[in-house]
Structure 1
């Protein structure tokens, strides 16, 4: 049996998943034709280490399948049951202070998570999930400046309940805690927008029309200093 080359392996993996080659190029931060040129024209001769790692994690295969030396393989199909989903990470930040402008929401990269783990975190389709960064200290100690948060955009105003949400007000994204008022006023649920840091004021007696709910924060990660 002839062992397949990294180019053949990548083409096969993309075909099995039904992935568009230009989308895979964007996944690794390259121009749309990059992966197609690698597969069909042999340019570049081999994948860069970072590109190979991202693609291996996305497909849930060993890096050696895509051309890495065997000792450099970091992910094998058994590590996550060969069942990964990539979630987009965006350049925009959600301020935990005065508000971060969100005029551009450029995709920085994608991070691969096990599908089962994502299902435990959020009920929405993975396409409704995004990763952005927290800016500011108004949500201390729960969220700190620089934390990465997983936002479920499919869990927004329609299911609003107590929890931490990303909100859009004017041209700014903010991350705040919502505390529902158990009493209904004129058939409309009211709520308070709160900061976990007591040094910041709350916004009491808000209604659905006062803010645009982007999604619910379901997970956070941070760098340990």
Structure 2
């Protein structure tokens, strides 16, 4: 495909979605001017394979529209176990790991046992991270009731692991995973680890450097 057409299409997508060059450049792990230089100056002449795949997934379009291969069934990343995009869908890996909403759960495995399809636009609204940063695991226990129940499936954004804003996160404590609500004190920058179920204890004034955060919970689904 003509490189001018690719740059024009990407520029139109950015304008129509209200995006900005710098944010998309950061999404790719590039310097802030990377996308602007590509669109305005043609530098680089073409997008790299990884950049093209991330952008195609972010905008929910076929990869060949940004210069990729015409084969729509190619994985967004060649490495096994990560999310894949097929047409307008993203496949998010599901792991047989339970994040305890109780006393703690040991990870059984870190190999995905399934991949669940979500519409690409829906995933894009869940998290600003590329889809390969997302993973699905289960909740075990009742300490996060009524927000999360035993058996709930949760999507975790593993790129969102700094606890820079309040939310529900999955933590690693020794070899166990916990799902808890984190609140950041804006003055001291210390973290409170809370259970939504008042029957369980909370831990105030924790040092963020001592908390190993796996990622932020961005979605929950449950069986009725």
Long gaps (5+) in structure 1? 1-12, 28-54, 60-81
1:78-117 to structure 2, matched below 5 A, reads 82-102=87-107, 104-117=109-122
**2:157 aligned to which of 152, 157, 179:** 152
RMSD: 2.5
Q: Distance in 2 between matches of 1:219 and 1:23?
A: 24
2:124 to 111, 116, 119: 119
Greater C-alpha radius of gyration: 1
Other structure's SS at 2:72 match:
helix
- Secondary structure at the residue paired with 1:213? strand
Deviation (angstroms), 1:14: 9.1
CA distance in 1, matches of 2:97, 2:111: 7
Q: How does 1:8-157 map to 2 (within 5 A)?
A: 15-19=71-75, 59=86, 82-102=87-107, 104-157=109-162
Of 103-112 and 125-134, the range deviating more from structure 2? 103-112
TM-score, normalisation: structure 1: 0.63
SS, match of residue 98 in structure 1: coil
CA displacement at 1:207 relative to structure 2: 1.4
- Quote the Cα distance in structure 1 between the aligned partners of 2:75 and 2:205: 47
How has the CA–CA distance of structure 1 residues 120 and 197 changed in structure 2, closer, same or farther, with 3 Å as cutoff?
Answer: same
Given that residues 95 and 112 in structure 2 are in contact (C-alpha distance below 8 angstroms), is that contact kept between their aligned partners in structure 1?
A: yes
Q: 1:195 to 1:14 in 2, by over 3 A?
A: farther
Gaps of 5+ in 2: 1-68
Counterpart secondary structure, 2:190: strand
* Contact 2:95-2:109 within 8 A present in 1 as well: no
In structure 2, distance between residues paired with 1:103 and 1:160: 29
